[in-house]
Chains A and B, each alone.
Chain A
Amino acid sequence: MTKPGEFYQRDRNWHPPAVTPTYKTSVARSPQYSMISLEQSASEITGPKFGHTDIDPMDRDMIHNYAAAGESAIGERIIVHGRVLDENSRPVPNTLVEAWQANAGGRYRHKKDTYLAPIDPNFGGCGRTLTDENGYYYFRTVKPGAYPWRNWVNDWRPAHIHLSIFGTSFSQRLITQCYFEGDPLIAKCPIVNTIPDQAARGQLIAALDMNATIPLDTIAYKFDIVLRGRRSTLFENRMEGN
Chain B
Amino acid sequence: MVQKLEYLKETPSQTAGPYVHIGLAPGAAGFDIYENELGWDIAGADAKGERIRVEGVVIDGTGSPIKDVMLETWQANADGVYAHPEHDGEVEAGFRGWGRVITDFDSGEWGFDTVKPGAVMGRNGLMMAPHITLWIVARGINIGLNTRVYFEDEAEANAADPVLNIIEWERRRATLIAKRTERDGQVVYRFDIKLQGEDETVFFDI
A28 and B62 form a contact (CB under 8 A): yes
Known contacts: A26-B140, A35-B205, A162-B23. The answer to whether A45 contacts B86 by CB under 8 A is yes
Shortest C-beta distance, B18 to chain A (Å), equals 6
Q: What 1/0 mask marks residues of chain B from 188 to 205 whose CB sits below 8 Å from any chain A CB?
A: 000000011100111111
Q: Compute how far the CA of A142 lies from the CA of B55 in the bound complex, rounded to whole angstroms.
A: 38
Least distance between A99 CB and chain B CB atoms (Å):
6
Residue of B nearest to A161 (CB): B23
Q: Are B143 and A15 in contact (CB under 8 A)?
A: yes
| Contacts known (A10-B205, A238-B124); A28 close to B144, Cβ less than 8 A | no
CB-based A-B contact count at 8 angstroms: 273
A99 to B137, CA, bound (A): 15
A60-107, CB < 8 A from B = 65-66, 85-89, 98-101
Contacts of B8 in A (CB 8 A): 85-89, 226, 229
Contact with B along A214-233 (1 / 0, CB 8 A): 00000000000111110000
**Shortest beta-carbon distance from A51 to chain B in Å:** 11
B20/A100 in contact, CB under 8 A: yes
A173 contacts across to B, CB distance below 8 A: 72, 135, 144
- B123 near A15 with CB under 8 A, answer no
State whether B24 touches A100 (Cβ < 8 A): yes
A73–B175 alpha-carbon span in the complex (Å): 47
Number of interface residues of B (CB under 8 A): 80
A176 at the interface (CB under 8 A from B): yes
The A101-157 residues at the B interface (CB cut-off 8 A) are 101, 108-113, 124-128
Closest to B140 in A: A25
Give chain B interface residues in 1-36, CB to chain A under 8 Å. 6-24, 26, 29-31, 33-36
Prevailing SS type, chain B contact patch: loop
A38 and B162 alpha carbons, distance in the complex (Å):
10
Residue B121, interface by CB 8 Å: yes
A11 to B8, CA, bound (A): 12
Is A174 a contact of B142 with CB atoms below 8 Å?
A: no
Cβ-defined contact, B16 with A36, below 8 A: no
Q: Is A46 a contact partner of B84 (Cβ separation < 8 A)?
A: yes
Whether A124 and B31, one on each chain, are in contact in the complex, defined by CB atoms closer than 8 angstroms, is yes
Binding site for B on A (CB under 8 A): 4, 8, 10-12, 14-18, 20, 23, 25-33, 35-50, 54-56, 59, 65-66, 85-89, 98-101, 108-113, 124-128, 162, 164-165, 170-171, 173-177, 191-192, 194-195, 199-201, 203-204, 225-229, 238-242
A sample of 11 inter-chain contacts (CB < 8 A) reads: A4-B86, A26-B141, A49-B96, A65-B33, A89-B8, A98-B24, A108-B22, A162-B14, A162-B17, A191-B15, A226-B9
Known: A16-B142, A88-B8, A112-B105. 7 other contacts (CB 8 A): A17-B142, A28-B140, A46-B83, A56-B35, A110-B29, A173-B72, A177-B17
